Structure 1
Amino acid sequence: MKLLFCCEFYYPSVGGVQEVMRQIAERMVKNGHEVTIATSQLNNRNFDSHNGVRIVEFAVTGNLTRGLEGEIERYQSFLANFNADAIMIKAAQQWTFDASWPVLDLIKARKVFIPCGFSGLYEPEYAQYFCNLPNILRKFDHLIFYAERYRDIDFVKNHGMQHFSIVPNGACEEEFSAIKDSSFRERHGIPESSFLLLTVGSMTGMKGHREVAEAVARLNSKGRHVTLILNGNRLPSISDIRVNLATPSKCSGIENLLIRFRHLGKRTSKLAGKACRAFRVYQKEGWKGVWQRIATLLGQKKKTLDYWINDINHQVRNKKILQLDLPRTELIQAYKASDLFVFASNIEYSPLVLFESTAAGLPFLSVPVGNAEEIAEWTGGGCICPALKDERGYTRVDPELLSKMILELMDHPEDLRKLGENGHAAWRERFNWLTIAKDYEEILSGVVSR
């Protein structure tokens, strides 16, 4: 088959979307298919193919709600005229999907879409977007979901659509077959006797690094030494993405004015969204609820991730935090050297890191974010720490409760061992990319249809 995959970011950019698309694309190439990726231009990408996958870059940013900017027409023409057997787009609310809307009817190839969670479903500024979305989704031949129960699949079911499959995420059997390196702890100054906690996620402020650090600060380790590795990469910024956009200084007077109005409109939309959320809290909880939210936000600003890292590293003898951005091979060794993976992200769909934890035989403790509860059920490899969701669907864990659950698992090493073994066995049987790629191949070829 000749395949076109579209995603906002791709290798060498790091993240869940990038990893899933890379794994599927490279395995399709190994199976004899021709794969092209349409994605954003990056300053640190100086090649047009990787592991047999052709990469075509577009200088585009944004989405339909924030505004699309750059080579939109070039991308739409490329999409409409690409001679493919199947086209697969991953994730809503980003340009490779949103810019495709006007040309979907012109595409003759089989069209597959992975919604990827609908993170903005409860955001007021995205109300019109999701009002228009059902008609767009019906133009695709097949939809792929990662979870049996989540906001995106519920949205589709509520609109009477049934042309979908559930294909779980996983972890790479080639990467995690690496032998455990017993010198990992020594390399990073971690005592062999230290109870090693690991959390992994991009440094966006939404991946739970602060919450886990605070939980460790509150942890009564009963004299045992505890080390926490906070691993995370910086997301691409606008300076990393090559987009040839007109700036106000280069525009005519009218164009300059339009750009300023557009940016003003975006700011106004954000303010309106915050006002709507505050009003909903007021309706449900009164002024007390509003002031509690404000107090919480002020408290979070005072006690940042840096605060907790400094608090532990400079004032506590038997605890240590390492903030790292490890190369991939070394990160896999971090999984294998750790005692417990802790995940407190605020927003997810189907977190790859939980599958990677099971692949390493590492038990996990996660908040109920995305389909983490399903992953715990499917793999038997982890536990769930209860946490509430706010009015926008963001998971907010109590660090004190998370701390107590970490201690409970520390006190029961046999339970940790069993969780690790169960998770690893489930990963080997079902949740590896070798197995998962076969499902994608069937869907892309049309073996699995409406």
Structure 2
Amino acid sequence: MNPLKILITTEQYPPILSGVATVVSELANALSRQGHSITIATKKITGRESVASSNIRIVEFNIQGNFGSFYRGETKAYIDFVLSSDADVIINECTQTWNTDLLLPYLDQIHAVKVLHSHGFSLLAFESRNPWANLKAKIYYGSLTKYLKKYNHVLILSNNASELPFFKRQQFINYDILPNGVPEHLIAKSSKIIGDKPYLLSISNYYPMKNQEFVLRAYYQSDVSAKLIFIGAAQLHDYLAQLKALKQSLDKQYGWKDVEFLYGISRKETEDYLKASALFLHGSKLEAFPIVILEAMATGTPFVCTNVGNVKNLKGGKIIHNESEMAQAITNLLKDKSQYVRYSQLGIDEVSMQYNWKAITHKLSSILGLTN
């Protein structure tokens, strides 16, 4: 396998804390370890120096705006940079982001192998409250098919991806599945057993779409007294304050329960909390392939999750559809030790076989024809 020059364009990259940023970082590092030369073209933010790597070149562009508004700033410099790149492979991460959208009219001028790595067509799966964004989405997706055909490869996350109904309507078949994954160091060697002082854990940015209030209500409806810990990397729309107010209200309704809201803790601390937790709870309204569920599975922590994205196809926990079902699942899993251990081991086994970055990078290399 000859080393290649690979350019990855992404709006989100560490130190930004998000699922997409994690995926891109892990893929870039894994491809770099294979001997490829990696360049990241991304948004200029403060603090990026802390994640700079001697093996990965990072080129930043001061571009603002988001889908539903318009892109402004160093847009021309970004387009010129990509068009003049000598990369063998260019990977555009996500649609509905400036790093991909700005390049769509210029795809014919890019002679490298072109890859679109989609993380879900979110506005097809969940309508925005912004009417202009919905109108723009209709126009955007109306013209997207002609651009998709200009890519050598289109990658989606799973067999339940939100892109598939659109692909079927447009009779688009040139896609492959590349799942999300976890680093190998996170994978437990054996199944968990419930400790003397178990606690429940939920990890997501504090944001209404992540729906921590659903988890909080379900927890209070359950019969368990174990502590519940929330961990979030960002606070949006004063949602954390709303959750704390809801906790006070639920204390009056059900009686006091031990709930802790953590914010701004390190990645290492977050992993330690996950490794020691008894159950992982996730109430999100919209996901494509939530990495936090895979991370729970890797550590042998059974999950209880809403029916979002592809989670129903994962073996390390239970899917629920309402608060009372989550409450019952919490109660049952902590009481039924044999079922608990079974879910714990199933999660570890599934991640070990296919949802780790070593396996995923090998699959990407195979898709791109980089392996024999």
Q: Which stretch of the first structure deviates more once superposed, 32-41 or 168-177?
A: 168-177
Structure-1 residue corresponding to 2:59: 56
Match of 1:131 among 129, 137, 142: 142
Change (3 A) 1:201 1:415: same
Q: Secondary structure at the match of 1:55?
A: strand
Task: Calculate percent identity across the aligned residue pairs.
Answer: 28
Q: Secondary structure at the match of 1:355?
A: helix
Partner Cα distance (1:99, 1:63) in 2: 12
Asked if residue 385 in structure 1 is aligned to residue 320 in structure 2, the reply is: yes
Partner Cα distance (1:333, 1:314) in 2: 32
For 1:105, the aligned partner's letter is D
When Rg is computed on C-alpha atoms for both structures, the one with the higher figure is 1
Match of 1:428 among 333, 338, 352: 352
Q: Secondary structure at the match of 1:383?
A: strand
Structure-1 residue corresponding to 2:70: 67
Q: Secondary structure at the match of 1:319?
A: coil
Asked if residue 233 in structure 1 is aligned to residue 233 in structure 2, the reply is: yes
Match of 1:407 among 302, 319, 331: 331
Match of 2:98 among 95, 98, 111: 95
Match of 1:169 among 150, 171, 180: 180
Structure-2 residue corresponding to 1:186: none
Asked if residue 364 in structure 1 is aligned to residue 367 in structure 2, the reply is: no
Tell me if the contact between 1:217 and 1:308 (Cα under 8 Å) persists in the aligned partners. Answer: no
For residues 337-360 of structure 1, the C-alpha deviation after alignment (integer angstroms, 9 at most, x for no partner) is 111111110111100011111110
**C-alpha RMSD of matched pairs (Å):** 2.7
Report deviation, 1:218.
2.3
Partner Cα distance (2:326, 2:269) in 1: 27
Tell me if the contact between 1:312 and 1:321 (Cα under 8 Å) persists in the aligned partners. Answer: no
Q: Secondary structure at the match of 1:206?
A: helix
Partner Cα distance (2:79, 2:319) in 1: 43
Report deviation, 1:439.
1.2
Report deviation, 1:401.
3.1
Tell me if the contact between 1:5 and 1:88 (Cα under 8 Å) persists in the aligned partners. Answer: yes
Match of 1:156 among 156, 164, 167: 167
Structure-2 residue corresponding to 1:390: none
Report deviation, 1:148.
0.6
Report deviation, 1:158.
2.4
Tell me if the contact between 2:286 and 2:308 (Cα under 8 Å) persists in the aligned partners. Answer: yes
Asked if residue 444 in structure 1 is aligned to residue 368 in structure 2, the reply is: yes
Change (3 A) 1:429 1:200: same
Report deviation, 1:412.
1.5
For residues 69-97 of structure 1, the C-alpha deviation after alignment (integer angstroms, 9 at most, x for no partner) is 11111111111111111000111111101
Report deviation, 1:306.
1.9
Tell me if the contact between 1:176 and 1:332 (Cα under 8 Å) persists in the aligned partners. Answer: no
Report deviation, 1:177.
5.8
Partner Cα distance (1:311, 1:226) in 2: 19
Asked if residue 143 in structure 1 is aligned to residue 130 in structure 2, the reply is: no
Structure-1 residue corresponding to 2:312: 373
Tell me if the contact between 1:63 and 1:98 (Cα under 8 Å) persists in the aligned partners. Answer: no
Structure-2 residue corresponding to 1:319: 257
Match of 2:42 among 32, 35, 39: 39
Report deviation, 1:199.
1.1
Report deviation, 1:102.
2.1
Report deviation, 1:205.
2.1
For 2:292, the aligned partner's letter is V
For 2:258, the aligned partner's letter is K
Asked if residue 197 in structure 1 is aligned to residue 200 in structure 2, the reply is: yes
Asked if residue 218 in structure 1 is aligned to residue 221 in structure 2, the reply is: yes
For 2:139, the aligned partner's letter is Q
Q: Which runs of 5+ in 2 are unaligned?
A: 128-133
Alignment of 1:270-309 (within 5 A): 304-309=242-247
Structure-2 residue corresponding to 1:349: 288
Change (3 A) 1:360 1:177: closer
Partner Cα distance (1:316, 1:51) in 2: 54
Structure-2 residue corresponding to 1:4: 7
For residues 32-63 of structure 1, the C-alpha deviation after alignment (integer angstroms, 9 at most, x for no partner) is 10000011111122368325111110111224
**After TM superposition, what 4+ stretches of structure 1 lie above 6 angstroms from structure 2?**
313-318
Q: Which stretch of the first structure deviates more once superposed, 108-117 or 150-159?
A: 150-159
- Length, aligned pairs only: 357
